[in-house]
């Protein structure tokens, strides 16, 4: 599921994504590395930015840095944007870290964590956090490729049933 950004499809819409073709390499400790800027702004407007920061640091990142395969995902997205194989879909994922959803405009593949992911023209690609991967063993890494349905309900990882609840039960 994904959330459509305000003004998407209008002349006033300006694409803002968590990754661009010329983004620098993300720092492993940068909690915002995989968060869509419009999602971040939405939480700020709601007065919930500190809540989102806590969720990113202790639920999504589990109190540590981004893992190697998560950083590879961002590098591969950047490469595919440079090659013009992906574009901003104008949405972000419904759960934190609220990553930008990209749409493939050409078939191709990406390599993340020693796994090759193939996609076709029209597929949507989005980052999947560790908790989602733990709950869905079919996911081999931080990549989801498919066709998404819109939703209006955003969810912090800490609000989901498989959450670590702020690292109380440290793994």
Cβ atoms within 10 Å, residue 113: 15
Q: Indicate the pTM of the whole model.
A: 0.87
State the CB neighbour count (10 A cutoff) for residue 95.
23
| Coil/strand/helix, residue 116 | strand
- pLDDT in tens for each of the 171 residues of the chain? 666 666 555 666 677 899 999 999 889 999 999 999 999 999 999 999 999 999 999 999 999 999 999 999 999 999 999 999 999 998 999 999 999 999 999 999 999 999 999 999 999 999 999 988 888 888 889 999 999 988 888 889 888 765 454 443 333
Contact 33, 53 (CB under 8 A): no
């Amino acid at each position: 599921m994904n959330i459509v950004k305000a003004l998407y499809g209008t002349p006033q819409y300006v694409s803002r994504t968590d990754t661009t073709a010329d983004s620098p390499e993300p720092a492993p400790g940068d909690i915002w590395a995989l968060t869509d800027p419009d999602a971040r702004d939405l939480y700020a407007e709601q007065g919930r930015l500190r809540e989102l920061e806590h969720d990113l640091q202790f639920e999504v990142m589990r109190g540590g840095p981004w893992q190697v395969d998560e950083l590879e995902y961002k590098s591969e997205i950047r490469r595919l944007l440079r090659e013009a194989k992906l574009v901003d879909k104008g949405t972000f994922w419904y759960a934190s870290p609220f990553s930008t959803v990209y749409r493939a405009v050409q078939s191709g593949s990406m390599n993340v964590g020693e796994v090759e992911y193939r996609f076709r023209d029209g597929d949507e690609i989005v980052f999947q956090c560790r908790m989602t991967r733990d709950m869905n063993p079919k996911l081999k890494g931080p990549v989801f490729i498919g066709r998404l349905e819109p939703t209006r309900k955003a969810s912090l990882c800490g609000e989901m049933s498989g959450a670590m609840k702020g690292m109380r039960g440290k793994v």
